[in-house]
Structure 1
Amino acid sequence: MDKKKASNYKFVQNSKCEYFPCHKIEETEKFNCLFCYCPLYMMGEECGGNFKYTEHGIKDCSQCSLPHIKEVGFDHIRGKMKTVINIVKDKHLKNIKK
């Protein structure tokens, strides 16, 4: 098997989940559960998804299906992970300096 061509690790579906699908999507067979909780939440407006802020300042991602789209979700999140790592690293370094 050519590992460069394989991409099964990019898609997981749990159709037995009581919340499946947790976002409205036309083709449920393409609904990806791999990122059940989006690792880009902490990025705020830089995440690239369809979200809004509530009146209390809470990020509401209930209308965002980006992490769950089979063809693009994994690659989009992977492309943003270096930024997530830097956010965490910067926060950690600020705590050390205190």
Structure 2
Amino acid sequence: MEKPYWEGKHYSYFSNKECEYFPCHKGADPENFNCLFCYCPLYALGDKCGGNFKFTDKGFKDCTDCQLPHKRKNYGYVTGKYAELVELMKKMG
């Protein structure tokens, strides 16, 4: 099986171990924690992001328990959702 084009590329993984909050999610594996998507680009997709989130009583999306964008192996998943983000922006715009 051929590996994805991005696997092993430096642009697909960045770990900022000097960050005061590193790792910012409890239980995360610090050796495979990807900081590239520090602010998740999939947040705007609401319940279609694919991550482990919940909504607060006030209706805000709480991603505290989600590690989806921070796992090294999920770079392709996150960037694969960009087309959905483009469509969402077209509808808003």
Per the normalisation by structure 1, the TM-score is: 0.84
Structure with the greater alpha carbon radius of gyration = 1
1:6 CA displacement:
5.1
Per the normalisation by structure 2, the TM-score is: 0.88
Stretches of 4+ moved more than 3 A in 1?
3-6
CA RMSD of aligned residues (A): 1.7
SS in 1 for 2:31: helix
User: Is there any run of 5+ residues in structure 1 with no aligned partner, and where?
Assistant: 93-98
Is residue 34 of structure 2 the alignment partner of residue 12 of structure 1?
A: no
- Alignment partners' CA distance in 1, 2:35 and 2:52: 17
Aligned position for 2:67? 65
- Alignment partners' CA distance in 2, 1:59 and 1:26: 20
Aligned position for 2:92? 91
Is residue 54 of structure 2 the alignment partner of residue 52 of structure 1?
A: yes
What do residues 21-51 of structure 1 show as CA deviations (whole Å, max 9, x unaligned)? Answer: 0012352111000000000101011000000
Which fold has the larger relative contact order, with Cα–Cα distance below 8 Å and residues 6 or more apart in sequence?
A: 2
Letter of the structure 2 residue corresponding to residue 28 of structure 1: P
Pairs aligned (count): 89
Alignment identity in percent?
46
Q: 1:16 to 1:42 in 2, by over 3 A?
A: same
